[in-house]
Structures are given as C-alpha cells and as structure tokens.
Structure 1
Amino acid sequence: MPRFLAVYTMKHEDFDAFRRLPKVEQDAIDAKGVPQWMAWEERNAAVILDRGGMVGKTTRVNKDGISEACNALCGYLVVEAENAEAAARLFLDHPHITVFPGDGVDIMPFVT
C-alpha cells in the first residue's frame, strides 16, 4: 500500500498567540487536545507506520554553510493509504487543526 508523509504545519504568529495566552488557557487547550490526539492515533493505529513527532526550530545547511531558518513545519508522521485523498481524509478531524492552533497537514506520497 502507498506510504505518505503527513507534515503538520503551523503559522508562527498562531503559535506565538497561543504562547501569549494565560497558562491556564494553554493548559485547558492541552487538556482537551492531548486526549483527542491520542484517541486519533489509536483509531488510526493500523495505518500509522511511523508516529514521527513534533519538531522545534530549524537549522538549514546549504552551499553557504549553516544558518537558522524559518518554516511552518512543526511535526510529521507516516501513514499508508490507498491514495493521497484517502490519506488526507484521515486528518480531517485531527486535533492539530480542530483544537490546537495548527495551520494544516500537508500530505505527500513517498516516491521510488
């Protein structure tokens, strides 16, 4: 079955706004979202090949050397599905976009 990289994205301004919320509000969002995230992973466990994880600040390497970089990537996982649309449908109710300030989930097929 085809494999897909699912990349969680988040706008920096949305993350910053979340971090500016009072701690009690952040905790309330976490208290709602974390169990939903765990339930989502449990419901989809059969198609999750790599749970991936959330990621932090970006360091870029290019022909000019090493530098800090900025992008919207904040995490990833690998799923298998019949096609990209089926993989995308898995994420329609994902707490990254329904509870947390996530911007989206980008779905990309692995190619040979």
Structure 2
Amino acid sequence: MPRFLAVYTMKPEDLARFRSMPKSEQDAVDAVGLPLWAEWEKKNAASFPDRGGMVGRTTRVTKDGIASATNPFCGYIVVEADTIEAAARLFENHPHFTVFPGDGVDIMPFLTEPPQS
C-alpha cells in the first residue's frame, strides 16, 4: 500500500502565542485536545505504520556548516492509504488545527520503498 509522510505544521508566532498563555489556559487546551487526538489515532491506527511524534527545535546542516534554523514542522506521522486524497481525508478536522494552534498537515508521498527487515 502507498505510504505518505504527514507533517504537522505550526507557525512559530502561533506557537509563541500559545506558550505565552497562562499555564492554566494551556492545560485547558490540552485537556480538550489530547483526548481527541488519542481518539483520532486509535480510530485510524490501521493506517499508521509509524506513529511518528512531535519534534522540537531545528538544527540545519548545509555546505556552510551547522546552525539553528526555523521551520513550521512540529511533528510527523507515516500514513498508509490507497491515495494521497485518502491520506488527506484522515486529517480533516484534526485537533492539531481545530483545538491546538497548528495551521495544517502537509502530506507527501514516499517515492522510495521502506527498508525491508
């Protein structure tokens, strides 16, 4: 079955705004969003050969060396679906952007096969 990389995105300014909220308000968002996210993952578990995870600060390596960098990526998950449209439909109304301050999920097909074990 085709595999897709789904990358959760969040604008740095939206993350900063969320982190600047009082802890009680952040906790209230988590209390709503985390159970919804867990329910979504459980409901769609058969489509996720790699549950991925959330990621932190970025370090970029280029021909000029190693440096801190900024990008909108805040997490990922690997999805198996018949088509990219089917993969995308899994994320409709996802808590990442309906409850949390995420702005979207970018979905890309893998062009190479996963390693065979």
TM-score exceeds 0.5: yes
TM-score band (shorter)? Answer: over 0.9
Give the superposed CA RMSD. 0.6
Partners of 2:24 and 2:69 lie apart in 1 by 31
Partners of 1:46 and 1:106 lie apart in 2 by 20
The two structures have a TM-score, normalised by structure 2, of: 0.94
Q: What is the one-letter code of the residue matched to 1:92?
A: E
Write out the 4+ residue segments of structure 1 that deviate beyond 6 Å after TM superposition. Answer: none
Q: Offset of 1:93 from its aligned partner?
A: 2.0
The C-alpha deviation readout for 1:5-61, integer Å capped at 9, x for no partner, is: 000000001001111111111000000000001000000001111010000000000
Map of 2:61 onto structure 1: 61
Alignment length (residue pairs)? 112
The C-alpha deviation readout for 1:44-90, integer Å capped at 9, x for no partner, is: 00111101000000000011110001100000000100111110000
Map of 1:33 onto structure 2: 33
The two structures have a TM-score, normalised by structure 1, of: 0.98
Map of 2:89 onto structure 1: 89
Map of 1:49 onto structure 2: 49
Partners of 2:60 and 2:47 lie apart in 1 by 31
What percent identity do the matched residue pairs reach? 71
Partners of 1:17 and 1:80 lie apart in 2 by 33
For structure 2, list consecutive stretches of 5 or more residues without a partner in the other structure: 113-117
Secondary structure of the residue aligned to 1:74 is: strand
Q: What is the one-letter code of the residue matched to 1:35?
A: P
Alignment of 1:12-23 (within 5 A): 12-23=12-23
For structure 1, list consecutive stretches of 5 or more residues without a partner in the other structure: none
2:73 matched to 1:70? no
Partners of 2:64 and 2:12 lie apart in 1 by 25
